[in-house]
Every structure is written in structure tokens, then in C-alpha cells.
Amino acid sequence: DTGVSQDPRHKITKRGQNVTFRCDPISEHNRLYWYRQTLGQGPEFLTYFQNEAQLEKSRLLSDRFSAERPKGSFSTLEIQRTEQGDSAMYLCASSLELSGDTDTQYFGPGTRLTVL
């Protein structure tokens, strides 16, 4: 069990460019979550998948954000036409959802995005 991994760990881009982040969850986990976190705040929910199905997306999430989990394993988060306000840490978490279980989320190391 290698834990949740994310790539890249850091990304610097210019305003208006597109960026894509990858998350590899813990192998047997069926749920995958994307969060955004800024300094001094808790994680903000963006979206989550159960297997390959995207079950929920935050109402606060701009149409510039899209996520996929094509085969129910790794996931990608794309941000189009980046803005300076998109600068944040993007966290991925995974969990194993079983009936009656706690559904504890385990986080990856995050991708820190800086938009210039």
C-alpha cells in the first residue's frame, strides 16, 4: 500500500493557461475526492467519484474546472483558463466506502498551484 499519490507536487503557470493534475488513490479504494485549500483555511470540497461515476460537484465550482476518473482508478483535475484566484493547494483523497463503515478519507501530498 503506497498511499495516495499526486502529480505534479508543484505547478507554476501563467494566467490563462490550462493545467491538469493527476491523483492515484489507494488501490482498493472506490471513492476519490478533490479538494482545494488556501492558507489558513480547511479543505474546500470540489468533487467526488464513486468508482468511475462523478457523483457530486460543488455548486461553487466554476465551469473551468473538470474532473475525470475514466477507469475508476486514477483521476485527473483540469483547470482551464487559469486565474490568479485559482492559486491554492489541490488535495486528493480516497476512501473505501463500505456499508456501516466510517468511510475515512486518506489524503495525498497535494499539488500546489501558483498562477502568475
Binding residues (CB under 8 A) for another protein: these are 40-45, 48, 56, 91, 102-110
Minimal distance, residue 54 CB to another protein, in Å: 13
Supply the minimum distance, in Å, between the C-beta of residue 100 and another protein. Answer: 11
Output 21 or 48, the one with its CB closest to another protein: 48
Residue placing its CB nearer to another protein in the complex, 17 or 51:
51
Among the listed residues 84, 90, 77, 112, the one whose alpha carbon sits nearest the alpha carbon of residue 16: 84
Closer residue to another protein, CB minimum distance, 27 or 39: 39
Nearest-approach distance from CB 73 to another protein, in angstroms: 20
Residue type, 50: Q
- The percent helix, strand, coil of the chain (3-state, each to 5) is 5, 50, 50
Identify residue 85 by its one-letter amino acid code: G
Point out which residues pair with 47 in neighbouring strands.
34, 57
Set of cell numbers at residue 116: 502568475
